[in-house]
Amino acid sequence: CAVFFKESYQRMNLWKEISEKDNIHKRLQAICETRWTAKETAIKRLFGTYNSLDDNGMLSDLLLVLTKMIQNPNLNPDMRSKASNFISSFIKYETILVAHLYMKIFQITGPLSRYLQSNKLDLLKCQQMVTSALENLKGIQRGVENVKEVCNTFITNTNNKIETMAISYKLNVEQIQSTFKEKRMAKKKKIFNYENEEDLITTPEKKFTIEVFNTVLDTVVNSMNTRFLKNNSLYYDLSLLCPKNFSFNKLKDIPESAFLTLTTKLKPLLPFNDNKENNVPDIRNRLSEELWNFSNSWKYLKNSLEEEYDKITLNETIDEDQDEDEENYENLLTPCNLTCKSCLICCYRLFVKYNLFSSAYSLLTLAYKYLLTLPVTQVSCERSFSTLKYLKNRLRNSMENENLESFMLMSIEKSILMELDNDTIINELGTKSDLLSKLLIIIDIVNCKFC
């Protein structure tokens, strides 16, 4: 529907005329092929929040606008025909029930989906959220009656709203169906002496429950089991490599079952001599020792030379004034750089930059390299798909390749862009040519006069 209205200014004006009175700054969401949350947003805009009496979405506005299109003789027949088809689809009870089924699924999987797309996600928390979402999905796997109850309440509220709005706009708007439409059941031909009696689906409600509701939820549950749960032990092993989980005071604090799965994955990647001489338990013990040593050294290794000098200076200052607040002291000692020093990439950069991978932490470096090559830690490219699609389809023929690449990076890495100082960018731009430098000086003089 969003695309249908965007195709014409005439349709968009009809939509704004009705929708903006009650739903300020709300609009229909088009289905995006690259954004995971686009489907959730689209269905939520139209049908509101699941099981909410206050937010019933914009379905009543949509039906009112489509009805107004049908009854407007000035519009072309093709537009009126499409509007009629949309109304026929949206007032079906099956459509509303399917929408509420997916709203319930998105209510459970939505937070998980958004967290999986975030930066610096924690693998342990991801797996725990997956387990929780899976248990909740199994809880509603055969709960069609609860979804029907919520759906019926939504239909009653929406029909009341449609009736009120139709009177004010003097339109004859069709009501949403509150039950399944009865259909004639087809009977299969069989041999006269065929003794087995098939369990036929005799009602539309039973047909929907078996063929739609149960099938959708079974598919979702099986898909999550296949994608996530079979790699549980590997995710738990990899989560130990995150600096946020460095809490091993002693070597025995690392669980005995840790790194067994990860060691199996790393063994084929080891050099030939190490692979031949060491078995899985030996590699596991060596990896545990390296991680324990590295975790206890991390708070020192992550500091640069400048930060060490800053600590010495601050310690001398604190010694002179013993009444200094302890909390402020800790804040002063906290390093503040462009690097976060609390993620997997920071650990790997440390190994490479200071040659720690050659002998000190060779096996641990291989584990970090293996982790960083997994798609679960490289979702930034997927978050960039929608931006790339926009650039390739709309902007590729309107600017040079150099500018296109620059604007693409600025759009994708917005967080880095916001940290840049505007004055620094302007001064850097002024160094590119004498003309720009003179113009910027003139602008500064004019601004100073007005200030």
Interatomic CA distance for residues 440 and 421, integer angstroms: 16
In a domain, 188, yes or no: no
Residue 151 shares a structural domain with residue 102: yes
**Residue 15 lies inside a defined structural domain of this protein:** yes
Task: Please state the length of the chain.
Answer: 451
- The answer to whether residue 17 sits within a structural domain is yes
pLDDT value, residue 96: 94
Confidence at residue 200, expressed as pLDDT on a 0 to 100 scale = 66
Residues 26 and 163 in one domain: yes
Torsion (CA) 421, 423, 428, 434 in degrees, nearest 10: 170
197, part of any domain = no
One domain for residues 168 and 76: yes
Residue 197 has a pLDDT of: 61
DSSP string, 47-62: H-STT-SS--TTHHHH
Q: What is the pLDDT along the chain (451 residues), one digit of tens a residue?
A: 778 888 888 888 888 887 776 656 567 777 766 666 788 888 888 898 898 887 778 888 889 989 999 988 888 888 889 999 999 999 999 999 999 999 999 999 999 888 887 777 778 888 889 999 999 999 999 999 999 999 999 999 999 999 998 888 888 888 999 898 877 766 667 666 665 666 666 788 888 999 999 999 999 999 988 888 778 888 888 888 888 888 777 777 788 888 888 888 888 888 755 655 578 888 888 888 888 888 888 887 877 766 655 656 655 554 445 444 444 433 333 433 445 667 788 888 888 888 888 888 889 989 988 888 876 665 555 555 666 666 666 666 666 777 777 777 777 777 788 888 877 877 787 787 778 777 777 776 666 655 5
Shared domain check, 430 and 395: yes
In the numeric block, which tokens belong to residue 183?
């259909």
Is 315 part of a structural domain of the chain?
yes
The conformational region for residue 303 under phi > 0 = left, psi -120 to 50 = alpha, else beta, is beta
The per-residue pLDDT for 273 is 58
Which is it for the CA torsion 206, 207, 213, 218, positive or negative? positive
- Asked if residue 334 and residue 222 are part of one domain, the reply reads no
Q: Are 246 and 384 within one domain?
A: no
**Model-level pTM?**
0.73
The alpha carbon dihedral of 419, 421, 422, 424 has a sign of negative
**Does 289 map to a domain?**
yes
Count: domains in the chain: 4
Instruction: Map tokens 């026929």 to a residue.
Output: 88
Residues 363, 431, single domain; the answer is no
CA 243 to chain centre: 23
- Distances from the Cα of 249 to the Cαs of 24, 294, 297, in angstroms? 56, 11, 11
Q: Are 242 and 340 in contact (CB under 8 A)?
A: no
Q: What is the pLDDT of residue 12?
A: 84
